[in-house]
Amino acid sequence: MEIYVDSANIDEIRKAKEYGVCDGVTTNPSLIKKAVAGMKGEGKQIDMEGYIRLICEAAGKGNPVSLEVVSLKAEDMVKEAELLYGKFNQVASNVVIKIPVSTSRSEGEEHYEGLKAITALSRKKIPVNATLIMTPEQALLAGKAGAKYVSPFAGRIDDFIRKNLGEAFGKSDYFPAGGKHKDGKTAEDKGIVSGVELVKKTKAIFDKYGIKSKIIAASLRNARQVREVAEIGADIATVPFEVLEDMIKHPKTFEGIVKFSEDVVPEYKEIFSAGESASR
Ligand code: E4P
């Protein structure tokens, strides 16, 4: 499974590259807002275009960087996508355009602008990451429209189900893949009992029909959720930096390091100091 860094913070992206675990980057307007607020907080000037170039460079040649459009109409999204692709793909040949699967904000609005944009861009060979996917059927539509990637939002589905259960929860709290129950009934959203199940059902449908779009398990909030989407066979997990940190930590690893460090005998340590003086 590939790992993308779900961040617009250049330092986080660079660190993940240095760790050797960053196969790509996903951004969205909220992540860019957070990064800009951080820079302003440090009194830094922001040259947005230059900053996005740095993100593309940091991700590395061919490692996809998702950049999202901001308009809600298909025609405008296509123009924005062409502009983003034209400006930034030349940096490291890695730009993917994020298009919401639907841009309607309520029942009464036009629901197919996202799909129309995905279709138009795919015909123009501009790679699309269909975002804000909350059901397997939305993923199916995005796949049929030609999206290169689809991003089911696991964490937000867990949030939705927990909210409907009337539960209080923290953003990174684990929610069981098998769902929860209330009043003898399984809590669900349109028959989906958890965010991980959303990814699982999407994968099952894509496998069944040979849909080529890659699945990016998105909106992941903790390490256990990353493990569960890996077990399912998601192509990619996009993870915030905090989740990357959650994936490496374990109290028994801490304890093991303390013990190994304590147990180093001088004769063994000598090898390294002898090596050091030889290389001088
Ligand atoms: C990634 O492409 C998404 O924008 C991101 O994972 C959303 O995560 P959130 O639900 O934690 O904001």
> 158 CB less than 6 Å from ligand 1?
no
| Sign of torsion over alpha carbons 72, 73, 76, 78 | positive
Asked whether 7 lines ligand 1 (CB < 6 A), one says no
Confidence of residue 173 (pLDDT cuts 50, 70, 90): very high
Q: Is the pLDDT of residue 244 over 80?
A: yes
pLDDT value of position 185: 87
| Residue 267, phi then psi, degrees to nearest 5 | -60, -35
Task: Specify the pLDDT at position 276.
Answer: 74
User: Closest Cα partner for 114 from 82, 69, 156?
Assistant: 69
Among 16-20, 30-34, 104-108, 183-187, where is mean pLDDT lowest? 183-187
pLDDT tens readout for residues 23-80: 999 999 999 999 999 999 999 988 999 999 999 999 999 999 999 999 999 999 999 9
CB atoms under 10 Å from CB of 264, counted, come to 10
How far, in Å, from the CA of 245 to the mean position of ligand 1? Answer: 17
Rounded to 5 degrees, what are φ and ψ at 53? Answer: -60, -40
pLDDT of residue 133: 98
Q: Identify the residue whose C-alpha is closest to ligand 1 atom 6.
A: 219
pTM value is 0.96
Atom of ligand 1 nearest to the CA of 98: 2
Alpha-carbon 155 to chain mean position: 11
Which residue, judged by its Cα, is nearest atom 8 of ligand 1? 219
Mean pLDDT for the chain?
96
